[in-house]
Amino acid sequence: MRIAHLILTHQGPAQLARLLAALTHPNADCYVHVDKKADLAPFAFLQNQPGVFFTRTRLDVQWGGYSLTNVVLAGSLEILAHPARYDFINVLSGQDYPLKSAEQIHRFFQQQAGQSFIECEPLGSAWWQANARRVERYHLTEFPFAGSHAVQKVLNALLPKRRFPLPYVLHGGNMGGWYTLSRAAATYLLAFLDRQPRLRRFARLTWGSDEFLIHTILYNSPLRPTIVNDNMRYIDWAGGGPSPRTLTRADLPALLASPKLWARKFALASDPAVLDALDAAHRTSAALWPMGPGLAA
């Protein structure tokens, strides 16, 4: 069983290096996408590490834009073409960090063959009631020209509400941007979008498609029975803002007690001690269970 971690980053090469070290496993590789706007030079020291690949495609990612979804699609295409034949594609940001050791994570996925872990809510939920405009209105996030907001306002004043191009129940949520896809799910997703290019065209004029497009396609697909509605991430939205809280040492009791596999987000520059504590927990689990039981232990 092999895992490909697809890591999206634009800053913090030292923090990325630490994440790559924590994910190191004989049956894992890491594919790193560095935002096209970022200088690649500070990341160059990571390019020759075993099991680390920098994606050939580099996109200029706009926060909330379709480009964030497209990064995952382009990266998945590269991963599926690799002769290693990965069983899972796991999407992370450079500010994520594992809560379990690499060996525990691999034992977990060995027991979950063919499953995908995508957390979201169906249309009609409280999240969708607050976020329906993502789909219903025109958004020019991918086209940041001077005056784009004014043009966007005019479009939405003159044109009728947009409708999703297919008769699907929409799925999405604020936990939805990070997930783990089985090989079958990633293969289906890319082939489906090739057959339905109008979905890409539609999504380019939405906001935050990374939290609903892939989810809607897969939850309406024949692979729905293989999807677990849990992304196995610890993410704290208690701050109420557009981004989750940055986790610190104060969060350690909750992090160490969590059954999740990863957490986000962390800031190495301001609080390295929280990552030190997680690394120590990984070493302890490896010492206690070198060949031992699964994640629950």
- How do residues 190-226 score in pLDDT, each as one tens digit? 999 999 999 999 999 999 999 999 999 999 999 999 9
Rounded CA gap, 33 and 51, in Å? Answer: 14
Please tell me whether the peptide bond between 260 and the residue prior to it is cis, using omega within 30 degrees of 0. no
Q: How confident is the model at residue 175 (pLDDT cuts 50, 70, 90)?
A: confident
Residue 232 C-beta-side C-alpha neighbours within 13 Å: 22
**Residue 112 confidence (pLDDT):** 96
- Average pLDDT for 124-131: 92
Q: CB neighbours of 176 closer than 8 A, spacing ≥ 6?
A: 118, 119, 120, 210, 211, 212, 215, 231
Domain boundaries, the chain: 3-138+156-288
pTM exceeding the 0.75 threshold for the entire prediction: yes
Residue 240 C-beta-side C-alpha neighbours within 13 Å: 0
Residue 112's CB: how many other CB atoms inside 10 A? Answer: 18
Q: How confident is the model at residue 285 (pLDDT cuts 50, 70, 90)?
A: confident
Which residue type, as a one-letter code, is found at position 142? E
pLDDT at 166 over 90: yes
Q: CB neighbours of 109 closer than 8 A, spacing ≥ 6?
A: 1, 3, 87, 88, 180
- Residue 259: alpha-carbon gap to chain centroid: 18
The third-level CATH classification (topology) of the domain covering 3-138+156-288 is Spore Coat Polysaccharide Biosynthesis Protein SpsA; Chain A (3.90.550)
What are 176-188's pLDDT values in tens digits?
A: 789 999 999 999 9
Rounded CA gap, 94 and 86, in Å? Answer: 21
pLDDT at 266 over 60: yes
**Residue 98 confidence (pLDDT):** 98
- Average pLDDT for 56-65: 94
**Residue 242 confidence (pLDDT):** 78
Question: CA triplet 249, 251, 253: central angle to 5 degrees?
Answer: 100
Percentage of the chain with pLDDT > 90?
88
- Average pLDDT for 73-83: 97
Average pLDDT over the chain reads 93
